[in-house]
Amino acid sequence: MQENAAGKLHIAFEDMGEQQLKNIARPVRAYRVATGPVAATAQETPALPLPDKPSIAVLPFANLSGDPEQEYFADGMVDEIITALSRIRWLFVIADNSSFTYKGQAIDVKQIGRELGVRYVIEGSVRKDGQRVRISAVLIDATTGARLWANRFDGSLEEIFDLQDQVAVSIAGVIEPTLQAAEIRYSVERPMTDLTAYDLYLRARSVASSYERDGIAKALELLGQAIARDPRYGLALATAATYRVDLENYGWIDDREGEENRRTAIDLVRQALRANADDPGVLGRAGMVLGRFGEDIDAALALIDRALALNPSFAYGWYRSGWVRLFAGQLDLAIQHFETSMGLNPRSQRGFHLAGIGMAHFLVHRFADAVAVLRVSIEELPTFTPTYRTLAAFYAHMGRRAEAREIIKRLASLTPVVVPTANPCRNPEHRELFLSGLRLAAGEET
């Protein structure tokens, strides 16, 4: 009976009224399974709750080639992207056997978000034209339907599998910071009375993005609260350590505080590694902190290398690797890694990367390249004090005293620490080139 089935099956019934049926003496009320507008009123599948971390589903890509033989490639592309995204430890990725249930269906991303319990959806297409192939992908916020990112990738059919790997890594690398930015926005909009350790971590990332002393101080306070809630929150521990590197980079602590700050940062990353030794985000930050604060440079490089092995599309990991390679004296490799990071995350603040690239050019005596890059870095990020120090050292060594004095003046307006007492470069010649030039520039000012 309709009354017994109602609410138990995800279908609707249309009442056809009293019907006279063969071999039944009296009329009976008949029903039929509804179609069209009536069926649309059927009970919807309840929405699955969102996980306690960012969640994403990669839907089957449409094959626009007109060639059924290319269907395997479109499906393989999705498998590769899911694999690449699964390396991002803080991201919840729906398995392909769930995503592929939507293959060939008209897509409503909001409905898919509810049915799979995800906040984000990737959809895309593959088109083959002769010996060329184009892959398009879009990242969508399933709660609002808004597009967060879109891009396309072109390549030769002869290199189809290399292209497939390249697209998967690129999509994962670009999506990671995009998702982080979206999650930070969600967290900041949540009421202060409903905070978890994860929300506190995201809020810390948000306030620290101002690159101002008060913002870093507030971020450390929020991360302290997150760690108090979850003492084994590796990413919060490691991020707090990196903000202590910022305190020294910007010259916001004096020599007396510096030693304690370094000890605290090293202790934080050691706690983080004990808690999450296989998290690329923790490994990358730990390598950066240990490389910056004078620990074993080979150990720092090993941590960075492991982070990149676990997540080859980790844009910030490549950025941190650039700095640690620079500290280790691997200057050309440092430049390559900074450039890889910018390629994976083209919307990032390039000023930080360019500061490292400029310093690497300077230390290897490519002075024309160094000054060109450092000038762009300062224009794009006028508050990053390490750039000023390198540029001042360059001008001093080149005998351009007036320009050196001007850079020192601008540096002194940002920080009381013009010439730092410590330098992370392990190569003595690199360290002397940098510090002697900076002292010469500062001496001209006094």
**17 and 119 part of one domain:** no
Residue 61 lies in a domain: yes
Domain hosting 430: range is 354-446
Q: What is the CATH number of the domain that holds 103?
A: 3.40.50.10610
Residue 2: pLDDT over 50: no
Quote the CA–CA distance of 239 and 225 in Å, as a whole number: 13
Q: Which of 184, 213, 228 corresponds to the end of one domain?
A: 184
Read off the pLDDT of residues 94-149 as tens digits, 9 standing for 90 and up: 877 778 888 888 878 888 888 888 888 999 888 877 778 888 889 898 888 888 88
**141 and 28 part of one domain:** no
Residue 444: pLDDT over 70: no
Higher pLDDT among residues 244 and 443, named by residue = 244
Read off the pLDDT of residues 295-306 as tens digits, 9 standing for 90 and up: 789 999 999 999
Name the 3-class secondary structure at 259: helix
Across the chain, mean pLDDT equals: 82
**Angstrom distances, CA of residue 241 to CA of 244, 332, 384:** 5, 27, 18
Domain count, the chain: 3
Residue 8: pLDDT over 60: no
Closest CA to 362 of 256, 264, 441, 254: 441
Backbone angles phi, psi at 132, to 5 degrees: -110, 150
Residue 106 lies in a domain: yes
Read off the pLDDT of residues 340-378 as tens digits, 9 standing for 90 and up: 888 877 667 899 999 999 999 999 999 999 999 999 999
Residue 327 lies in a domain: no
What pLDDT score does 194 carry? 52
Residue 221 lies in a domain: no
Read off the pLDDT of residues 215-232 as tens digits, 9 standing for 90 and up: 999 999 999 999 999 999
Quote the CA–CA distance of 65 and 63 in Å, as a whole number: 6
Residue 417 lies in a domain: yes
What pLDDT score does 162 carry? 72
Beta-strand (E) ranges in 59-146? 62-63, 92-93, 120-129, 132-141
**7 and 63 part of one domain:** no
Residues 6+ apart with CB under 8 A from 126: 61, 62, 63, 64, 65, 70, 73, 74, 77, 133, 134, 135, 136
What pLDDT score does 190 carry? 63
What pLDDT score does 351 carry? 93
Residue 9 lies in a domain: yes
**27 and 71 part of one domain:** no
**Angstrom distances, CA of residue 222 to CA of 129, 239, 248, 371:** 52, 11, 19, 38
Residues 6+ apart with CB under 8 A from 147: 138, 139, 140, 141
Residue 18: pLDDT over 50: yes
Residue 161: pLDDT over 70: no
Residue 21 — very low, low, confident or very high, per pLDDT cuts 50/70/90?
Answer: very low
**61 and 175 part of one domain:** yes
**149 and 106 part of one domain:** yes
Residue 181 — very low, low, confident or very high, per pLDDT cuts 50/70/90?
Answer: confident
Residue 376 lies in a domain: yes
**19 and 83 part of one domain:** no
Instruction: Indicate whether this model's pTM tops 0.75.
Output: no
Q: Which of 149, 184, 219 corresponds to the end of one domain?
A: 184
**26 and 127 part of one domain:** no
Higher pLDDT among residues 48 and 264, named by residue = 264
Residue 23 — very low, low, confident or very high, per pLDDT cuts 50/70/90?
Answer: very low
**69 and 117 part of one domain:** yes
**175 and 108 part of one domain:** yes
**59 and 180 part of one domain:** yes
Read off the pLDDT of residues 62-93 as tens digits, 9 standing for 90 and up: 888 777 767 777 887 788 788 778 777 777 88
Residue 7 lies in a domain: yes
Residue 165: pLDDT over 80: no
Residue 6: pLDDT over 50: no
Q: Which of 159, 184, 209 corresponds to the end of one domain?
A: 184
Higher pLDDT among residues 68 and 444, named by residue = 68
**97 and 175 part of one domain:** yes
- The answer to whether 318 and 304 have CB atoms below 8 angstroms apart is no
